[in-house]
Amino acid sequence: MSDSSNHPSSSSVHADDGFEPPTSPEDLDSNNKKPSLEQIKQEREALFTDLFADRRRSARSVIEEAFQNELMSAEPVAPNVPNPHSIPIRFRHQPVAGPAHDVFGDAVHSIFQRIMSRGVNADYCHWMSYWIALGIDKKTNMNYHKKPFCKDTYATEGSLEAKQTFTDKIRSAVEEIIWKSAEYCDILSEKWTGIHVSADQLKGQRNKQEDRFVAYPNGQYMNRGQSDISLLAVFDGHGGHECSQYAAAHFWEAWSQVQHHHSESMKLDELLEKALETLDERMTVRSIRESWKGGTTAVCCAVDLNANQIAFAWLGDSPGYIMSNLEFRKFTTEHSPSDPEECRRVEEVGGQIFVIGGELRVNGVLNLTRALGDVPGRPMISNKPDTLLKTIEPADYLVLLACDGISDVFNTSDLYNLVQAFVNEYDVEDYHELARYICNQAVSAGSADNVTVVIGFLRPPEDVWRVMKTDSDDEESELEEEDDNE
């Protein structure tokens, strides 16, 4: 786990290797926006010295590393066209078109997952995926980012072709960013802002990874907005990945819509609850139209450091915690059939609780009583979240959201010990690896589920290291003093 500020940039685009920038009309505008190789070298070496890790490097160098495989390819990979005389041995369903108002959010999330798979920090992935998708959308004049959600309109014409266009244009969009001067490309000169985050996930013993997450340090990472509020969430899907993936792809749209219309009249927890309500409304349309049978848990938090507030909203059994200088505290409660109040609510709306395989399940099917999606299970499976609004205390250092694959194997004391162990093993510059460390430890501890962790630092990472790091020199001095006294 080395300091990412020392990572080499892609050899295919290094200023000293003689590589010439692409000059095709598709990749560059006709006017003189191409920087000199000296400018490229300077911008690659420019550092964001106010923050850590990827934030300490130039945007150009991070882009090069994230997409080095594509950039090193001399030509785009030709499509694999099957032999017309061959006999097909497997049938694949045609992809679902989906409504036009979901195309842009789907594209952003698809690019996000693609960059995340290369091990890049989550906040950078959010920031970059929106820029790439927006650039493609504008350059092709599709303008899907302007299409608003309307529950009474389900227009799918052209959406499949649009999704393919976003996929096909990623490489050229990235090359254009890299080979523009910072004078003409804001992304090369903008600094990251907002809280520090760490987020990651691993596929455990499950056949499929149905977890999804978001980790937005502030509104800049969602829609180029100016909001200082940070938005974090974990979505643990069941019965398929459709609902959890949809939630992660469109939560920022639901939040932005609610914040735009209600930020002056609602408190932070009310905004979060309304955003989940809006998200579920959008998801319900897709679930009914495309016959999605599954759903997803949700644990979300909004952090407003200016107002010194943090809000939680959740459905299901995915937990949310805050770590102080002394302990982890869990602030969410499980929506489970084993909870007497939840059991009573299910039975009052006509449901029944059965024991299946030693586990309580609603109507013998789901071991949760609240979730997003799960349209066939309503009203027994409620789509109404619980919420909590809390003042951030001086001793609150970070917030941690997770799926039940984490809480199944770790209690609050375990989580505190894991953070302390990480702090004493790694440098503060590696703070973004904390989530991956906890995920790895959960798998090693025997978690049979997928594992996902999202962490938002309520204070700078240096403060966490300062409080939790054991000073071996001080300990040795204390031991020597004790020996002298004896």
Please report, for the domain that includes residue 314, its CATH number.
3.60.40.10
- The number of folded domains in the chain is 2
Please check whether residues 384 and 455 belong to one and the same domain: yes
Please check whether residues 330 and 438 belong to one and the same domain: yes
Question: pLDDT by residue (tens digit) across 241-293?
Answer: 999 999 999 999 999 999 988 988 899 999 999 999 999 999 999 999 998 98
Q: Give the Å distances, CA to CA, from 116 to 20, 154, 168.
A: 28, 31, 19
Range of the domain at 147: 37-74+96-184
Cα(191)–Cα(254) distance, integer angstroms: 26
pLDDT tier at 485, thresholds 50, 70, 90: low
Longest Cα–Cα distance of the chain, Å, equals 90
Give the sign of the dihedral formed by CA 219, CA 299, CA 393, CA 201: negative
Please check whether residues 150 and 207 belong to one and the same domain: no
The predicted structure's pLDDT at residue 1: 47
Q: Is residue 117 pLDDT above 60, yes or no?
A: yes
The predicted structure's pLDDT at residue 252: 95
The predicted structure's pLDDT at residue 401: 98
Burial (0-12, 13-18, 19+ Cβ within 10 Å), 482:
exposed
Taking all residues of the chain, what is their mean pLDDT, rounded to a whole number?
Answer: 85
pLDDT tier at 7, thresholds 50, 70, 90: very low
Domain assignment present for residue 361? The answer is: no
Please check whether residues 168 and 105 belong to one and the same domain: yes
The predicted structure's pLDDT at residue 88: 40
Domain assignment present for residue 415? The answer is: yes
pLDDT tier at 81, thresholds 50, 70, 90: very low
Nearest in space to 180 (alpha carbons), one of 18, 39, 377:
39
Last residue of a domain, one of 184, 205, 223: 184
Please check whether residues 277 and 390 belong to one and the same domain: yes
Please report, for the domain that includes residue 60, its CATH number.
1.10.1740.220
The predicted structure's pLDDT at residue 481: 53
Domain assignment present for residue 354? The answer is: no
pLDDT tier at 483, thresholds 50, 70, 90: low
Q: Is residue 70 pLDDT above 80, yes or no?
A: no
| C-alpha R_g of the chain | 24
Please check whether residues 171 and 201 belong to one and the same domain: no
The predicted structure's pLDDT at residue 73: 66
Q: Is residue 129 pLDDT above 60, yes or no?
A: yes
Question: pLDDT by residue (tens digit) across 143-152?
Answer: 999 999 988 8
Neighbour count for residue 159 (Cβ, 10 Å): 21
Cα(135)–Cα(6) distance, integer angstroms: 29
Dihedral class, residue 322 (left if φ above 0, else alpha if ψ from -120 to 50, else beta) = beta
| Tokens linked to 315 | 């459905």
Last residue of a domain, one of 131, 153, 184: 184
Q: Is residue 454 pLDDT above 90, yes or no?
A: yes
Domain assignment present for residue 385? The answer is: yes
List, in sequence order, every residue forming a beta bridge with 453; answer none if it has no partner.
Answer: 200, 402
Please check whether residues 287 and 160 belong to one and the same domain: no
Please check whether residues 239 and 291 belong to one and the same domain: yes
Please check whether residues 254 and 395 belong to one and the same domain: yes
Cis omega (within 30 of 0) on the bond before 79? no
Domain assignment present for residue 2? The answer is: no
The 3 state secondary structure assigned to the chain is: CCCHHHCCCCHHHCCCCCCCCCCCCCCCCCCCCCCCHHHHHHHHHCCCCCCCHHHHCCHHHHHHHHCHHHHHCCCCCCCCCCCCCCCCCCCCCCCCCCCHHHHHHHHHHHHHHHHHCCCCCHHHHHHHHHHHHHHHHHHCCCCHHHCCCCCCCCCCCCHHHHHHHHHHCHHHHHHHHHCCCCCCCHHHCCCCCCCCEEEEEECCCCCCCCEEEEEECCCHHHHCCCCCCEEEEEEEEECCCHHHHHHHHHHHHHHHHHHHHHCCCCCHHHHHHHHHHHHHHHHHHHHHHHCCCCEECEEEEEEECCCCEEEEEEECCCCEEEEECCCEEECCCCCCCCCHHHHHHHHHCCCCEEEECCEEEECCCECCCECEECHHHCCCCECCCEEEEEECCCCEEEEEEECHHHHCCCCHHHHHHHHHHHHHHCCHHHHHHHHHHHHHHHHHCCCCCCEEEEEEECCCHHHHHHHHCCCHHHHHHHHHHHHHHC
The predicted structure's pLDDT at residue 151: 81
pLDDT tier at 15, thresholds 50, 70, 90: very low
Q: Is residue 414 pLDDT above 60, yes or no?
A: yes
Domain assignment present for residue 306? The answer is: yes
- Phi and psi at 124, nearest 5°, equal -60, -40
Please check whether residues 253 and 378 belong to one and the same domain: yes
Last residue of a domain, one of 142, 161, 184: 184
Mean pLDDT (whole number) for 222-249:
93
Q: Is residue 185 pLDDT above 50, yes or no?
A: yes
Reported for 287-292, long-range contacts at CB under 8 A and 24+ positions apart, including other chains, are: 287/242, 287/243, 287/373, 287/375, 288/375, 289/99, 289/154, 290/96, 290/98, 290/242, 292/240, 292/242, 292/243, 292/373, 292/375
Q: Give the Å distances, CA to CA, from 292 to 31, 100, 157, 238.
A: 48, 18, 21, 11
**Tokens 């420019």 map to which residue?**
46
Please check whether residues 131 and 275 belong to one and the same domain: no
Q: Is residue 92 pLDDT above 70, yes or no?
A: no
Please check whether residues 152 and 301 belong to one and the same domain: no
Domain assignment present for residue 207? The answer is: yes
Domain assignment present for residue 248? The answer is: yes
Weakest-pLDDT range from 179-183, 342-346, 383-387 = 179-183
Weakest-pLDDT range from 14-18, 63-67, 337-341, 415-419 = 14-18
Q: Is residue 472 pLDDT above 60, yes or no?
A: no
The predicted structure's pLDDT at residue 27: 46
